[in-house]
C-alpha cells in the first residue's frame, strides 16, 4: 500500500478549533471545517445490507456530526447511467456516496466520475485488498470481501450439505433454486462445474454457457439481494447462488438455512465506496468524512459483523458464527478454494456476460 503524506493537524485547526471537536474519526486537510449539510444521501442495497451499514456506519456518523443519512436504494446498475450523466453535464449527482460493486466502481473510475480519496486519514494500515488495482490514486476504496456461496435449506438436505454446483441441475429442485437476475457471481462457478477452467475466462466460456443453458430448464427464480432472504424465509427455495450475507440474514431470522463452498470453488469479490464529482465543496468534504468513518475499526467491526463479511481494517474480529467458515476467508487455504476473476476482465466483459445470461434465461 502506498505511504501517504501524514495529516498535518495544524492546517486543520486554523480557524476551526471549536468545530474540530465534532470529528472523532479523523479530519481531512482543510484550512477550516466546511459548513455541515443537513443530510447526506448514500446509495445502498436493501434488507440486511441497509441494516448493517445503518448500524455500523451511519448512526455513529450522525451521532458524532449531527448530519442525517438518507438512503437511496436504486439498484446499482440502474443508478450508474444517472450518475455518469450528472457528472458529465456538471450537475449535482443524485447521491453523495455510492456503495457499489468494485467492478461498477472501477467502470466509473475509468471514466473519471469520482473524487480522489487519497487524503482519507484511515487509509494507511488497511489490508492490501482495500486498494483499487490499476490506479495510482484512490478513486474508490474496497471495504470488504465476500463469497457467492451455495446456500441451501437444511430441511431439503437433512443429512449432509450439497458438495457440488451440479446439484442445481437435479430435477428434484426444479423451480426451487435461485440466482441473481443477471447471473452475477455465478459465471466462474458455472465454468468450473461445466468442466472448464477459470483461467479460460473470458476467451473460452463454452462450459459456462452450456451449464447455464441446462440450468434454464430448472426454472430458477431470479432476483436481487433482499429476494434471497425472503425466498428462504417463505420456504420458496431450497438452493441458491447468493452472497453469504443473504443466507446468514435468513438464518438469523430463524430459518433453517446453511451454506457451503462447493468442491468446484465459489467466486470471491469485493464492494467499494466512492464519491461522485459535482457536489458543493462542503458536501464533498462531509461525504469523504463518511467514507473515512466507514473505514475505521469501530465502524467496520459493527458493519462487517452485520454482513458476516471480512472487512479491510485488520483490527476487526470475525463474528462468532463465522469463525472457521470458508465463506469468511482468513487463511491461505480459505483463499485457495475461492475463484478469482481479475477486475479488469470483469470490467471489460461483465455487461456482455449479464446480457448473455438474460438472453439464455429469457430465450
pLDDT of residue 363: 85
Mean pLDDT in residue range 195-215: 97
Three-state secondary structure call for residue 169: helix
pLDDT tens, residue by residue, 219-267: 999 999 999 999 999 999 999 999 999 999 999 999 999 999 999 999 9
Mean pLDDT in residue range 139-164: 97
CA pseudo-torsion sign 304, 269, 127, 292: negative
pLDDT of residue 31: 54
Contact present, 238 and 170 (Cβ < 8 Å): no
| Least confident residue range of 20-24, 42-46, 116-120, 157-161 | 20-24
Is residue 25's pLDDT more than 60?
no
pLDDT tens, residue by residue, 302-348: 999 999 999 999 989 999 999 999 999 887 788 888 999 988 899 99
Mean pLDDT in residue range 3-30: 37
Is residue 11's pLDDT more than 60?
no
CA distances for 60 relative to 24, 52, 96, angstroms: 10, 12, 18
- Partnered with residue 339 across adjacent β-strands are 267
Give the distance, in angstroms, between the CA of residue 173 and the centroid of all CA atoms in the same chain. 29
pLDDT band at 5 (very low <50, low <70, confident <90, very high): very low
User: What is the pTM for the complete model shown?
Assistant: 0.83
Three-state secondary structure call for residue 148: strand
Three-state secondary structure call for residue 341: coil
Q: Cell triple for residue 129?
A: 485488498
Mean pLDDT in residue range 93-97: 98
- All domains of the chain in start order, with CATH: 9-145+270-307 (3.40.190.10), 147-267+336-362 (3.40.190.10)
Is residue 18's pLDDT more than 50?
no
Amino acid at each position: 500500500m502506498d505511504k501517504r503524506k501524514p495529516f498535518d493537524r495544524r492546517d486543520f485547526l486554523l480557524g476551526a478549533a471549536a468545530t474540530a471537536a465534532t470529528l472523532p474519526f479523523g479530519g481531512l486537510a482543510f484550512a477550516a471545517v466546511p459548513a455541515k449539510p443537513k443530510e447526506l444521501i448514500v446509495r445502498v442495497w436493501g434488507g440486511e445490507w441497509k441494516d448493517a451499514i445503518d448500524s455500523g456506519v451511519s448512526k455513529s456518523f450522525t451521532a458524532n456530526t449531527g448530519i442525517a443519512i438518507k438512503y437511496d436504494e436504486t439498484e446499482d446498475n440502474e443508478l450508474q447511467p444517472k450518475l455518469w450523466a450528472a457528472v458529465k453535464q456538471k450537475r449535482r449527482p443524485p447521491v453523495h456516496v455510492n456503495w457499489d460493486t468494485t467492478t461498477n466502481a472501477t467502470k466509473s473510475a475509468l471514466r473519471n466520475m469520482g473524487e480522489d480519496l487519497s487524503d482519507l486519514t484511515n487509509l494507511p494500515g488497511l489490508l492490501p485488498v482495500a486498494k483499487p488495482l490499476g490506479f495510482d490514486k484512490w478513486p474508490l476504496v474496497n471495504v470488504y470481501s465476500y463469497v457467492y456461496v451455495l446456500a441451501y435449506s437444511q430441511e431439503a438436505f437433512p443429512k449432509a450439505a450439497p458438495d457440488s454446483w451440479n446439484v442445481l441441475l437435479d430435477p428434484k429442485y426444479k423451480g426451487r433454486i435461485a440466482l441473481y437476475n443477471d447471473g452475477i457471481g455465478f459465471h466462474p462457478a458455472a465454468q468450473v462445474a461445466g468442466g472448464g477452467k477459470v483461467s479460460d475466462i473470458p476467451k473460452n466460456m463454452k462450459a459456462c454457457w452450456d451449464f447455464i443453458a441446462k440450468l434454464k430448464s430448472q426454472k430458477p427464480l431470479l432476483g436481487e439481494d433482499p429476494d434471497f432472504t425472503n425466498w428462504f424465509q417463505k420456504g420458496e427455495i431450497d438452493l441458491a447462488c447468493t452472497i453469504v450475507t443473504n443466507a446468514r440474514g435468513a438464518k438469523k431470522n430463524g430459518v433453517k438455512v446453511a451454506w457451503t463452498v462447493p468442491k468446484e470453488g465459489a467466486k470471491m469479490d469485493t464492494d467499494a465506496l466512492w464519491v461522485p464529482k459535482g457536489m458543493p465543496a462542503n458536501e464533498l468534504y462531509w461525504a469523504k468524512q463518511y467514507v473515512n468513518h466507514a473505514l475505521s475499526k469501530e465502524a467496520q467491526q459493527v458493519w462487517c459483523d452485520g454482513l458476516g463479511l471480512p472487512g479491510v481494517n485488520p483490527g476487526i474480529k470475525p463474528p462468532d458464527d463465522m469463525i472457521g467458515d470458508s465463506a469468511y476467508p482468513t487463511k491461505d487455504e480459505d483463499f485457495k478454494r475461492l475463484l478469482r476473476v481479475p477486475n479488469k476482465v470483469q470490467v471489460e466483459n461483465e455487461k456482455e456476460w449479464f446480457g448473455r445470461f438474460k438472453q439464455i434465461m429469457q430465450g
